[in-house]
Amino acid sequence: MPLEQSEAIVLRSFIVGEQDKIVVLFSRDKGIIRGVAKGARKFGSRFGSSLEPLSLVKVFYYEKERKDLVTVSNCDLVESFFEIQNDLQTSFTLSYFAELIEEFSPIRAKDDTLYRLLISILNSLKGGGDLNFLTRYFEAWLLKIEGVLPELNKCKKCRKILTDSCWLSPKKDGVFCNHCASQKKEEIKPELGSFVQWIKKNTPPKKGPLPFSTLELENIKKILQDIIIFHLEKKPKTLRYLK
């Protein structure tokens, strides 16, 4: 039973028994890992603050065959994002990111692109980036990485290039022009397509002027979250706490 190690982000942890914790990690090379950190609740525990949510750590663990949980031997704190979580909305939003990653990512499925996205968003928030804008950035890229972000620049039926408002298909897998849409329930305004093109070309911004207005971001938010809820077949629990 060799000792394994990986760079990881702590998504969440919860108490089990009197002295231990279950920790959910998003590792760079193994994807989602769930493990037991024995003695993590003891005073002076070797884990210290390394199991706090959204900590970047180097985790050491043992893995047994036919066991769902690994045994976490130690965690070295690489970088803490505790300071940005002093703001309640930021803390709730990071919990939302963690929930989405855990819901969309299969256990033990490496996803380096999603891992790097989360790290870059955390660094942008730490650098003073706008929470609302970065949340939309994360949602859009998550859907794109998972392959469920609809094609927004062409009508799903007639393949016409779209420059004006269009309509989201009932299955959230494409958009229809005004002529082809049989159901006009969810309008897609041009700013969503522009936003998706922008994030493809730009890293998450830190301080500075934003390329989209508050109203545009609100329209983008509604559609992205509708698509997320549709594919999860439920509303994320943490979404209720976000403004």
Q: What is the pTM assigned to this prediction? A: 0.94
Residues of the chain with CATH 2.40.50.140: 3-79
More confident residue, 153 or 45: 153
Mean of all residue pLDDT scores within the chain:
94
For residue 83, the cross-strand partners are none
Give me the amino acid identity at 112: D
d(CA 204, CA 172): 25
Residues of the chain with CATH 1.20.1440.120: 85-241
How far are the Cα atoms of 16, 164, 173 from residue 159, in angstroms, in the given order? Answer: 54, 14, 14
CATH of 3-79, one of 2.40.50.100, 2.40.50.140, 3.30.1340.30, 2.40.110.20: 2.40.50.140
Q: Give the residue among 223, 240, 208, 213 at the shortest CA–CA distance from 174.
A: 223
Query: What is the predicted pLDDT for the residue at 86?
Result: 93
For residue 71, the cross-strand partners are 36, 62
For residue 10, the cross-strand partners are 25
Residues 179-199 have pLDDT tens digits of: 999 889 999 999 999 999 999
- DSSP class of residue 158? T
Superfamily of domain 85-241: Recombination protein O, C-terminal domain (1.20.1440.120)
d(CA 194, CA 185): 21
Both structure tokens of 229 = 């809820």
d(CA 9, CA 78): 10
